[in-house]
Amino acid sequence: MKRLSRTQTDFDGAPTRPMPWARVVEKFHWLSEPYADPALRDAIVAVVEELDSHPLTELTALPARVSPTPVRTRSLRFVQRPHTQITR
C-alpha cells in the first residue's frame, strides 16, 4: 500500500504571503456570489477599499442587504494557489 502525505507550507492569505487586493476581491466575489448580486458585491468592495472615507453606517448597511441563504448558484470559479510539497 502506497501512502502519500502532503505538507502545505504557504498559501494565499497566510501571514507570510498576504493576498494582493485583486485576489481578495476575487475570493470575496467567489464566496459571496450565492448570497449577493453583482451590484451589491461591487458596492461592498468599493466601500471596503476606501474604508476611511465612508461612514460606518454605510459599511454596516450593505452587508445587511446580503441574503442569509443562497439565492443563486455559483458561476464564478476560484482557484486555490497553494505552495505544497508532496512527500512519498
Cell readout for 16 is 507570510
Separation in Å, CA 45 to CA 59, 63, 86, 87: 10, 11, 36, 40
Tell me the pLDDT tens digit for each residue of 54-73.
999 998 999 999 999 999 88
**Residue 63 phi, psi (nearest 5):** -60, -25
**How sure is the predictor about 81, in pLDDT bands with cuts at 50, 70 and 90?**
low
**How sure is the predictor about 87, in pLDDT bands with cuts at 50, 70 and 90?**
very low
Q: What pLDDT is recorded for position 22?
A: 93
Tell me the pLDDT tens digit for each residue of 11-26.
888 888 899 999 999 9
- Amino acid present at 73: T
**How deeply is 48 buried, as exposed, middle or buried, from its count of CB atoms within 10 A (0-12, 13-18, 19+)?**
middle
**Cα(57)–Cα(71) distance, rounded to whole angstroms?**
25
